[in-house]
Structure 1
Amino acid sequence: MLAIRLDEPKQFRQIAIPEPERPGPGEALVRTHRMGVCGSDISGYLGHMPFFRYPRIPGHELGVEVLDVGPGVANVKAGDRCSIEPYMNCGTCYPCRKGNSNCCATLEVIGVMVDGGLRERFIVRADKLHPSEKLSFEQLALVETLAIGCHATDRGAPTDGDHALIIGAGPIGLATLEFTRLTGATITVMDMDQGRLDFCRETYGIERTVQFKGDGSELARLEEITGGDLYAVVTDATGNVKSMSNALNYVAPTGSLVYVGITTQEISLPHPLLHRREVSVKGSRNALPADFPRIIDLIERGVIDTDPWITHRTPIDKMIASFDSFTRRETGVIKAMIDVSGVS
């Protein structure tokens, strides 16, 4: 059976692996149809992802088909199209008992800590499958990305009329934008790439965009937009240490700063400013189980339109040759999608 493994940074290899066993109790056998390329996949490829363990079969943004189920499985059946919630939690540790399974003490994310979906078929816990009768495999593969933004928005909790700033207009920033706009907040998006800002304006009607130039002009522009108040919620989706260290400057007094991007470097925050403004600094990790059916329903009802997201597509047999281009902004990638189903 065909799989593609990332042996070390920038070293993909096509390999043959054994067919999976029959699913056991509480398990399902699934076929991968689509895999979305995530920022975590790109960071793992570049060697910047702190949680990535090599060698690894990537793939956690997945649209899959259920082929078989094991004993005791009632939530899905053979033939169902599903999105996978890729966070394998223990269910018994302190955060799991509190309902925060995204922060499980022994959490293993498929495609990051354990092998993922860039293979033809594999076994997965059936409780992590979220079915839809209406969505395509590509749409189902986008649910996990959207879930990251959904949870990040919930962490910041902007409300109607708040000024909310999203830094970074990549897939996670856009996912945060999707859910922030549902709160009624007044949104500003900041990015270094004018093309991505144009995408936000043309696709989502975001009138307030700021190109970050690093010369201090962006702070003046953000103050102008907010009438000097700055932002009740700032979400940094860049994973860039300089951006993350600078983001506190944009938070209004008593506001919240949410880090959804990940860096391996130390973030530096000026304590007098943090203290004076009484800012809440929050991390946002993964998503919660309830986010997945919520997002599937929003896509099914047309509240979220996934069509503009996918800018690049590649079959699995061309993936290795194409992948490096997905890491470069000049290629215009928003979301790349890999067709895994065309293998023999």
Structure 2
Amino acid sequence: MTGGVTDRERWARAALTRVVEPGDEHGGRWLRELGAVELLRRLTAAPYEAEALAGASQRRVEGLRLRAARAQPERDLAAVAAVGGRFVVPGDPEWPGQLDDLGDGRPVGLWVRGRPDLRRWALRSVAVVGARACTPYGAHMAATLASGLAERGWVVVSGAAFGVDGAAHRGALAAEGATVAVLANGVDVAYPRGHAELIGRIAEQGLVIGELPPGAHPTPSRFILRNRVIAALTRGTVVVEAEYRSGSLVTARAAQRLGRFTMGVPGPATSGLSAGVHELLRGEAELVTDAAEVAELVGDIGDLAPARRGPVLPRDLLDPAGARVLEALPPRGRAATASTVARDAGTTVDEALGRLYELHALGFVERHGEGWQLTAGAIRRPNARRGGA
């Protein structure tokens, strides 16, 4: 027994990961009502106990019974142990409680590779997901966001796919930070094969997790259902590039339903790969451009992003009276008398003269006989086009 979980319970749940598909709410209801041990017993008993699985057709039950007959939990538990892994189930100290928000759709259990404690890591985690066929901009933003989050002590969670997912994992690893890969297959199967080395690095430095038992291969539906785990496990989901039809949007919408933060990184308005993100941003998602803005949303009180503003010019520091006098001077080198400046500034001649001498000392104006004019430095603006005011 580990924690409050008996060996029989763990054994039965390991078997059921070969019987019940991820996200199957009917299976989750049976599991909740009967318990793992009893559900497995009824699926393997002969003859079939018809009252056991209310709401399931005979055809479906027979399919589940065939799967249950082939399940070999001892072999699967030994296989995950052989790659340095374990099987974590509800009731274990390591079980992330936020997955319970999925209700009957929560995982039967999680197969885990890696040394860190999954529950602790999940408490301070953010998902970074997006397009597989991402642009260089998307890969750069994913890696930069992930490395910035990792440097701030956040765990970066993604799906180990090509494109944005891979860039996010690499960004976190490059910062020597924490990252979790949630797979749609067995944790001992490197998929996609082109990411075998990356998944191996994640298993060494972070965590690789999945609902499916060792040796299991992905299917299109398993990819989609995997996304609900990413959404539930983390405090928020950031989408970096996604078309209108994208699995990343499935993750984001699952996060919204679960009450998690949903964020999007904007891209060019003309890019189809950003169209889905922009649609999210038109709804309830928050626009983010860097790790500081993500941390401000999902973090604790006081974890604020720096204020964003343009450059502060010397003339911005003038008091209101001095600014009015400066603005009353004509542009482009033309001079004006103190009385003209006083009239246009709405003040007295004496007040205008006093301010003009202050502005002269600060290098904003120069005197030419009885006239005053702006210096070249006061006329120029940062990055102004040639010939502009």
Same fold (TM over 0.5): no
Larger strand share, 1 or 2: 1
TM-score calculated relative to the size of structure 1: 0.29
- Bigger Rg, which one: 2
Normalized per residue, the structure richer in helix is 2
Structure with the greater relative contact order (CA < 8 A, sep ≥ 6): 1 or 2? 1
